[in-house]
Structure 1
Amino acid sequence: MRAKRRGQDSVIADLRQEGALKALFPRVRGNALDAVFLNTSGGLTGGDRMVIAAEAEAGAHIVLSSQAAERGYRAQPGEVAQVDVTLRAGAGARIDWIPQETILFDHAALSRRLSVHLVGDGSALIVEPLVLGRQAMGETVRAVLFRDQWRVWRDGALVFADAISLAGDATALMARQATGQGARAMATVLLAGPAAAERYGRLRLDGLSGASLIADDLLLVRLLANDGFDLRHQMLGVITALADVPIPRVWRL
């Protein structure tokens, strides 16, 4: 999908959708274009592929979220679900990628790739929360394959790269002192744009979570929590501090 600036508002310039992935457009609450993605298949398993591409043209603002938590289900041996997201923001534009949690079940296999391309003073807020099973249901993730790769370019130059890999017993991996110290849920948040340094001072983090101002225009936040409920409470505060518009209604507890 692509959005453009019309007066003070951001509106749809182009939209294409197919397969199980659909886009919904709630009633606008401000000048940004709100888009909510829905995976009508109900989740991801080995062999599935989901591709999302969104562009905010010069001066436009897109806020993208998901209608519900994504689910990574048990995959057959050797099969890995693929998710590719490409975001572009032109000069003076902003794009917010704020999907709800991805829940990984035992024996899930998921590989994600996120590419962000910024022009001039274009900005992006990226939020990716991850939950290892549903603790309230007594679920334990003993075998999983999860890869998450982020790349951010500004005017063609690579300014940020990050990768997370979980392979094997995720519960044991997250129990280690140097990884999660027993956390069952985590999130990575990145604000790339001129407001990063100023928004850094607004953050209030809990427990093992932390933030790093990598550059004046690049702020990274890592969140850790005991479960998805605690993680969401942390994220609501972080998103409120970093966003320019109200949190999408689908995020409200």
Structure 2
Amino acid sequence: MINTAGGVTGGDRFDLTATAAADTELTLTTQAAERAYRAQPGETGRIRTHLIVGDGARANWLPQETILFQGCRLDRHLQIDLEASSRLLMCEALVFGRAAMGERLTDGVMQDRIDIRRCDQPLFQDAMTFCGDIAAHLAKPTVAAGAGALATVIFVAPDAEGRLAPLRRMLGSTAGASLIGSDLLILRALAPDSYALRKVLMPILTDLLAAPLPKPWMT
């Protein structure tokens, strides 16, 4: 996808709908990291994404990370509709300021929601809200212990249970994976910055994808 790349700011609205028809495989990624820039008071950028995955189809939702900048205001919602035999690999990564540039995110708002349904029934729902001094919030030992990047990976497939033990061996001390039911695997990882997060994610995603990652991930 040709994403905004130049950055989302207050008042922007972006909507994307993509469908993997029955018995097809669809992989989506972005040309570059998304950026959420400073917004004017009272304005919020909005991103809405809707993926529809047909029977026997597989969707791989693999955008590059979203970087939050000082003063950002972003409301993002990802909705994925699966059928009974659909498969899914999904990764969403957030970077809270660019550590290499000495950025510290002390003012920002990020509302992030993920809703996955199968046969019109809820399968996975997750919501996170960051508001105000995000760096101070992330510094708390019970939240992120100072991590500057976060990723969520979801894998829906009949062999998800068999992937759990090998996947856990690939994780560091600031990541964890759990199985919810026999075919739904959830992973969440923390890292100091985007570079460290990619070092964790790339071998895991390559393994779950069973193929090389899209080329933009290699640049």
Give the structure-1-normalised TM-score.
Answer: 0.83
Asked if the contact 1:199/1:241 (under 8 Å) is kept, the reply is no
Alignment correspondent of 1:149: 113
Does 1:225 find its partner at 2:165? no
Q: 2:129 aligns with which of 165, 178, 186?
A: 165
Cα distance in 1 for residues equivalent to 2:119 and 2:147: 37
Q: Which residue of 2 aligns with 1:8?
A: none
One-letter amino acid of the structure 1 residue matched with residue 163 of structure 2: R
Structure 2: gaps (5+ residues): none
Alignment root-mean-square deviation, CA? 1.1
Following superposition, the deviation at residue 40 of structure 1 comes to: 4.8
Q: Secondary structure of 1:236's match?
A: helix
3-state secondary structure, aligned to 1:201? helix
Work out whether residues 176 and 188 of structure 2, in 8 Å CA contact, stay in contact via their aligned partners in 1. yes
Which has a greater percent of helix? Answer: 2
**Counterpart in the other structure of 2:45:** 81
Give the 5 Å matches for 1:171-182.
171-182=135-146
Work out whether residues 193 and 218 of structure 1, in 8 Å CA contact, stay in contact via their aligned partners in 2. Answer: yes
State the Cα deviation string for residues 78-111 of structure 1 (Å, max 9, x = none).
Answer: 1111010101111110001000010000010111
Aligned counterpart, 1:26: none
> Where does structure 1 lack aligned partners over 5 or more consecutive residues?
1-36
3-state SS in 2 of match to 1:245: coil
Relative to structure 1, the CA distance from residue 106 to residue 219 in structure 2 (aligned partners, 3 Å threshold; closer, same or farther) is same
1:235 is matched with which residue? 201
Give distance in 2, aligned partners of 1:159 and 1:193. 13
Say if 2:107 and 2:133, in contact at 8 Å, map to a contact too. Answer: yes
Q: Does 1:245 align with 2:194?
A: no
Mapping for residues 52-131 of structure 1, pairs under 5 Å: 52-131=16-95
Of 161, 168, 180, the residue aligned with 1:214 is 180
Q: Looking at both structures, which has the greater relative contact order when contacts are Cα pairs under 8 Å and sequence separation is at least 6?
A: 2
The DSSP-based 3-state class of the residue aligned with 1:172 is helix
Letter in 1 for 2:2: L
CA distance in 2, matches of 1:102, 1:216: 30
How many residue pairs are counted as aligned between the two chains? 217
Contact 2:37/2:68 (8 A) holds in 1: yes
Once residues 163 and 212 of structure 1 are traced to their aligned partners in structure 2, the CA distance between those partners, rounded to angstroms, is 18
Deviation at 1:245, TM superposition (A): 2.7
| Change beyond 3 A, Cα 1:120–1:225 | same
Cα deviations across residues 47-96 of structure 1 (Å, max 9, x unaligned)?
10111111111110000000100000000111111010101111110001
Please state how far the C-alpha of 1:194 moved relative to its aligned partner: 1.6
Q: Aligned partner of 2:40: which letter?
A: Q
SS class of match (1:202): helix
Is residue 62–residue 94 contact of structure 1 (8 Å, CA) maintained in 2? yes
Contact map agreement 2:32 2:216 (CA 8 A) in 1: yes
The one-letter code sitting in structure 2 at the alignment partner of 1:39 is N
Moved over 3 A (4+): none
Shift of 1:201: 2.6
TM-score (normalised: structure 2)? 0.96
Task: Return closer, same or farther for 1:190/1:40 CA change in 2, 3 Å cut-off.
Answer: closer
Q: Contact 1:202–1:241 (CA<8 Å) still a contact in 2? A: no
Q: Secondary structure at the match of 1:116?
A: strand
